[in-house]
Each structure stands twice: as structure tokens, then as C-alpha cells.
Chain A
């Protein structure tokens, strides 16, 4: 699936880059957001790009497991919405006149914005997950955390509480973060 994802993203980056210059501010902004997040995925998370540049991977992963499936689904949505514009750009070229002739129904634009937002969240979590074990390890040294109901939990249970938006964790995290800096 990885090779498919890489070629999917490579094929989407180029039209998004062209459509960033669309004279409609809203369309331009939407494609800028899409381009930015797709480029980060391509540049940092997918192995081929960094390998071609002889750059180290820096511990970035390519969304294995659930993340990989979520990424594949989002790319599928993008392909569906961008089918028309991509065909047009391929047939007529990328001159400003052609680009600006592209109109997107508001529901398509909304769908693109939703996909961009979901991609951003996916990348955000994929990149920052590596900092969490460090934080929790550090928090275990703080009495407030140790004596709380989370103190004896494994990371997966804390993760589940976070995913369930357990508000009792909210204040505790801030307090512990402050105390751990003292």
C-alpha cells in the first residue's frame, strides 16, 4: 500500500501547487493548505523522497496501521474531488487562463477543506507521538501525577483517556507540566 500512497501523493502535489495561484482567494487558500500538508507527508514521512535526497529519516514513520488506512482513505477522497480539475490541467496545460477557468462547487471546496484538516491532524499526531512517552516518564516523577488515578496506568490507558476527552486529565496535565519544570 505504501508505494500506492507515495505515487498518489506525488500525483496530487503538482495540481495542488498549480491551483494555489488561482485568482479566487478561497480556492487558492484551500489548495495552499492541501499542498503544505501533502508536501510535509511526501518530504518527511514517505521513505522514497528522503532516500532520493540521501537524507536521514529522523524517526518519521509512514503512518503504519490505522494511520496508513486513514491516509489512504483521505487520498481517495481527494482524488474523487480533484478528478475534473486534474483532467483539465492535463489536457489544456497549467497556464493562468486555464487554472482560473476552474470552478469548484462549494460542497467540493468544503470537502477539500475537511480533507486538508484531517490530513493536518493525522500528520500532527504522527509527528508528535514520539514526545509522549518522554512526557509521561517525566510526569511519573511528580507526586500529583503519581497519586492520581492515572499514576499507575500504562500509556495505552492514558492514551484511551485522552482519546475519550477525559476532562479530569486536563487540569492534571497542566499542573503536572508546571510542577515538573520547577
Chain B
């Protein structure tokens, strides 16, 4: 699978949540991904590491605390949402 070779709904879902200020769906999605990561990845190749980095980049930028039922957005995320 080539990254972004043809962006589909699945690739733009997070961006759409951000654009719509839908932090509820964003939390649900990111929490589920984080929760399942520990038993999913097994390879240690560059592609796997890049995917993990991409996830970490987003997760850390948007959530300072992320739980199943609630979350705390980072100051940067709050500022972004207030400005857009």
C-alpha cells in the first residue's frame, strides 16, 4: 500500500474531524487506535516505524490525556480550534 497515492475517506477522516471541530469522534478514533496498537504491530521495518511516528505525531499534538471516556486536548489543539 503506497502512502497517500490516492487519498480516500479513510485517509481524510481525521482531517475532517479536525475541520469539523468534532473532538468527540476524534477522541473515539484515536483512543481505539492507541488501545489496539500494542498487539498489532510486529515488524520493525522502516514503514512500520513511519506509521507509528505518524500516529505519535498526531496523538501528542492533539491530546495531553486520552482515555476511553474522556480526554484533555493540548493547549496547541485548543488554540487551533479557537482560531479556526
Which residues does A use to contact B, with CB under 8 Å?
33, 36-37, 40, 44, 56, 58-61, 64, 66-67, 117, 120-121, 123-136, 138, 154-156, 158-160, 162-163, 165-167, 169-170, 173-174, 177, 180-181
Across the interface, do A173 and B12 meet the contact criterion of CB distance under 8 Å? no
Residue of B nearest to A168 (CB): B46
A44 contact set on B, CB distance < 8 A: 32
Flag whether B82 is at the interface (Cβ < 8 A).
no
Across the interface, do B51 and A134 meet the contact criterion of CB distance under 8 Å? no
Write the B11-42 contact mask toward A (1 if CB under 8 angstroms, else 0): 11111110000000100110011001101111
Residue among A58, A121, A131 making CB contact with B57, cutoff 8 Å: A131
Across the interface, do A56 and B25 meet the contact criterion of CB distance under 8 Å? yes
| C-alpha spacing A121/B3, complex, angstroms | 15
Across the interface, do B3 and A66 meet the contact criterion of CB distance under 8 Å? no
- Known: A56-B28, A121-B48; 5 extra A-B contacts, CB below 8 A, are A59-B29, A121-B40, A127-B36, A134-B57, A135-B57
The total of chain B residues at the interface (CB under 8 A) is 44
A119 to chain B, nearest CB (A): 9
In the complex, number of A-B residue pairs with CB atoms less than 8 Å apart: 142
Residue of B nearest to A167 (CB): B46
A173 contact set on B, CB distance < 8 A: 49-50, 53
Q: A134-B54, A180-B57 are in contact. Are A170 and B49 (CB under 8 A)?
A: yes
| C-alpha spacing A66/B1, complex, angstroms | 7
Residue among A64, A131, A158, A174 making CB contact with B55, cutoff 8 Å: A131
B84 contact set on A, CB distance < 8 A: none
B20 to chain A, nearest CB (A): 12
Flag whether B69 is at the interface (Cβ < 8 A).
no
Residue of A nearest to B2 (CB): A159
